[in-house]
Structure 1
Amino acid sequence: MTDIVLKDADPVLVDRIKRVADTRGWTMPRALQYLLEQGLHVYEGDGAVRFDNSEADVLQAAIAALEQVPDDPGYAAIGRVAKTDES
């Protein structure tokens, strides 16, 4: 595997990479590899956000739970569009 070397990198960028590595418990080389891979996926792809299966399942479960909130004049109406006679 090729070593990843950053020369003359902005100190703020280096600090951000270190924070990602520390948060995830990664070494700096692992963090750089991951960030480069993810960045390339964004630029090579169509830019659409994709969830892995577990993330998609959790999101669907959360949406389903919110859809089960009973109608009331307060909380349950948030984000809902009132039905009209035409709907």
Structure 2
Amino acid sequence: MTEIVLHDVDQVLVDRIRRVADARGWTLPRTLLHLLEQGLHVYEGDGRVHFDNSESEVLQAALAALQEIPDDHGFAMIGKVPEQPVS
């Protein structure tokens, strides 16, 4: 694999990369590789968010579960202002 060396990187950016690595439990090289790959997908793609199969299946299951919630007048009115009669 080709070695990539970054010079003169802003410390704020280094800290952000290190936070991602720490949060994911990854090494810095693995984190940089992942961030580069994901960044390239954004620039090479059409800008839309894409889910992998497992994420897509979970989202579809959640949406299906939400569609099964019965329509009742109490729950459906949360956050809505009742219409006022016109005088």
**TM-score where L is the length of structure 2:** 0.81
Q: How many residues align?
A: 79
Which fold has the larger relative contact order, with Cα–Cα distance below 8 Å and residues 6 or more apart in sequence? 1
Gapped regions of structure 2 (runs ≥ 5): 79-87
* Aligned-residue identity in percent: 73
Gapped regions of structure 1 (runs ≥ 5): 79-87
Aligned to 1:27: 27
RMSD, aligned CA: 1.7
Listed as ranges, the matches of 1:7-26 within 5 Å are 7-26=7-26
Task: Give, in whole Å, the separation in 1 of the partners of 2:75 and 2:12.
Answer: 42
**Amino acid of the residue matched to residue 73 of structure 2?**
P
C-alpha displacement of 1:12: 1.2
Kept in 2: contact 1:21–1:28 (CA 8 A): yes
Listed as ranges, the matches of 1:56-67 within 5 Å are 56-67=56-67
C-alpha displacement of 1:4: 2.5
